[in-house]
Amino acid sequence: MQNPTNSIKPEWTIIKLLKWTTSYFKSRDIESPRATAEILLAHILELKRIDLYLQYDQPLCAEELSRFKALIKRRVKREPVAYILGFKEFWSMDFAVTKDVLIPRPETEFLVEAGLKLLPEGSMSKQNLTRKRILELGTGSGAVILALASMRPHHLFFASDRAIAAAVQAKQNAERHALHGCVIFFCSDWFGTFGNGKPVFDVIVSNPPYVPSGVIAGLQPEINRYEPISALDGGEDGLSSLRSIVNAAHRHLCREGCLLLEIGHDQKDDILKIIEQSGNYEKVIFTKDYSGYDRIVQMQKKRT
Ligand code: GLN
């Protein structure tokens, strides 16, 4: 005969787990505790978040419980949700992300928007359309160049990263979105692998590391314990990569070609100085991000 106590043994249903995990995350100061609990549980059960509520009294089996527990532990150790899930949404596209690449940030979508304004829409059948050449430096997961390529697939896209693992990740993301025919990926430390040939690019775009070295230790543990420091560290003043790019990009830009850069929230004056000192650009335009910071700078190669 069945032991009657078995039937009243508390079961971990979806709703009970959500409640428990939310309060556990809260007690550990995890940002957005409820949403995080929902996202991780939905991931384990391969459900949409809304389905958790439609099936709220469904119990989890032991194997699901133990996998969920493992994810809770990772999050409490401050691993970002994007690395736990293995992907991040950017420009309404899913990008696979590993610890080899920076997690794409919402403000970087402004870099994509600025790029799109420089790339005419059209299709290859339109005879008068000129195909532009666009280069991204430090592509990481490939989010920026792939968002651009998805919107303007008739142009020619190139993207590099100094880290082989990042270039491989970006290429895999291109395949995931069936854009591998539109973008050429390669390894290069900024313009390190380029020769002194004729300038060929109409647009060069980059979100280089721009955080001052001394600031990194004070960032959230999600960032400084898990994200690649090489993608964040902009040297002592945070400007070393921005400076290298500004000082070299004009040699690779066609006539009236544009350089687009993401910068730190307080780097407007510094980047203006670097641009002026280089003397190679005009028509400098800043774009603000969602928080009102000047986040994107666009400059056009000076006509000689
Ligand atoms: N925006 C990122 C951060 O705040 C920094 C990205 C970068 O250095 N390019 O962590």
161-179 pLDDT per residue, tens:
999 999 999 999 999 999 9
Residue 197 above 90 pLDDT?
no
Query: Ligand 1 center to residue 208 CA distance, Å?
Result: 8
User: Does residue 35 sit in the same domain as residue 162?
Assistant: no
Closest Cα to atom 9, ligand 1: which residue? 209
Angle at which helices 14-27 and 33-45 pack, to 10 degrees? 140
pLDDT at 127: 57
Spacing, Cα 80 to ligand 1 middle (Å): 15
Q: Which domain holds residue 62?
A: 4-77
Over residues 78-95, the mean pLDDT reads 98
Residue closest via CA to ligand 1's atom 5 equals 232
> Quick one: 55 and 102 in the same domain?
no
Over the stretch 103-145, which tens digit does the pLDDT of each residue have?
999 999 999 999 999 998 875 555 566 899 999 999 999 999 9
Q: Is the pLDDT of residue 4 over 60?
A: no
DSSP E strands, 9-132: 87-90, 93-96
**Residue 210 Cα: closest atom of ligand 1:** 8
State percent of the chain over pLDDT 90.
90
* Termini Cα distance of the chain: 93
Return the SS3 of 184: strand
**pLDDT of amino acid 6:** 46
Token readout for 244 is: 């290298």
pLDDT on residue 121: 87
Which phi and psi angles does 253 have, rounded to 5°? Answer: -95, 140
Compute, in angstroms, the gap from residue 90 CA to the centroid of ligand 1.
Answer: 15
What is the pLDDT, as a whole number, of residue 78?
98
Going by pLDDT thresholds of 50, 70 and 90, the confidence category of residue 61 is very high
End residue of a domain, out of 42, 59, 77: 77
CA of 131 to the centre of ligand 1 (A): 31
Question: With bands split at pLDDT 50, 70 and 90, how would you rate the model's confidence at 9?
Answer: low
Q: What is the CATH number of the domain that holds 14?
A: 1.10.8.10
Q: Are residues 60 and 107 in the same domain?
A: no
Closest Cα to atom 2 of ligand 1: 232
Q: b or e along 138-169 (b: 16 or more beta carbons within 10 Å of the residue's beta carbon)?
A: bbbbbbbbbbbbbebebbbbbbbbbbeebbbb
Pocket, ligand 1, Cβ cutoff 6 A: 105, 207-211, 223, 232, 262
Last residue of a domain, one of 38, 58, 77: 77
Q: What is the pLDDT of residue 130?
A: 83
